[in-house]
Structure 1
């Protein structure tokens, strides 16, 4: 297994994690007024993402790689698309925001799963990425059923 491939995969996950952090930080206070019960979970997800980011940076550095510690172009385009979409939303902006969180979590899960299946990660990296994937799945499960939050 080539170290360069491992570093490349880890850098891809680092960019996805940075996209996740930026996306979470864009959520407006109105969402929390409407859904106060999920604010603590959301704050936990932001903290978790920052820990994941540091773990990935450490793995990249240990492999002698240079962390590409910035959000991706695709993530920036997605956030811009969400901003445009939300500016034309006639319905409930808060619900739309939560739907976008769920979409982003699903995309992160898919990317992490592909990274694990690629065979490009060393054992230590695979263990940490697998743990991070499990955390993403827990967060996704907690947010995917918006109907439950509407009832609260």
Structure 2
């Protein structure tokens, strides 16, 4: 197992985690007027993301690598730009679209984590940490994947 491959994969996951944090920061407070039941889970996702970020940074530095602490991915940047453009247009259910974008981002993160674990490029300690983080991502994805259920509670 090459240490440099582990560091590269971990930095890629760090970019994904930074994408999550940046994306979460863009969800406006008005969304929670329509989806108040999700607010606590959303706050939990933000806290988890910051913990995940620190865990990945620690794994990278323990292996002698340099963590790209504040770097995001090109795909994440493009996605956030697209969301900004869509949000600037008059849309009838902007709040639901915003949460659908959270779900899209979580799905992308899950795929990236799955690929990282399947790559065989992670050392055993890194694999264990990343597998635990993947479980957290799946839980948050499941929380947000049925938006209409939460909306119907509000009606």
**Counterpart Cα distance in 2 of 1:79 and 1:111:** 18
**Equivalent in the alignment of 2:126:** 125
- Spell out the pairing of 1:87-106 with structure 2 (5 A cutoff): 87-106=88-107
Deviation at 1:144, TM superposition (A): 0.2
CA deviations 1:55-108 (Å, max 9, x no partner) are 000000001000011222221111001111122252201000010000000000
**Counterpart Cα distance in 1 of 2:43 and 2:91:** 27
Deviation at 1:147, TM superposition (A): 1.2
Higher mean Cα deviation, 21-30 or 81-90? 81-90
**Counterpart Cα distance in 1 of 2:143 and 2:33:** 18
Do structure 1's residue 80 and structure 2's residue 78 form an aligned pair? no
**Equivalent in the alignment of 1:147:** 148
- Spell out the pairing of 1:1-152 with structure 2 (5 A cutoff): 1-69=1-69, 70-152=71-153
**Counterpart Cα distance in 1 of 2:74 and 2:48:** 22
Count of matched residue positions in the alignment of Structure 1 and Structure 2? 152
Please, what TM-score do these two structures have when normalized by structure 2? 0.96
CA deviations 1:95-150 (Å, max 9, x no partner) are 00010000000000000000000000000000000000000000000100111011
**Counterpart Cα distance in 2 of 1:56 and 1:89:** 39
**Counterpart Cα distance in 2 of 1:140 and 1:100:** 11
Please, what TM-score do these two structures have when normalized by structure 1? 0.97
Stretches of structure 1 lacking an aligned partner (at least 5 in a row)? none
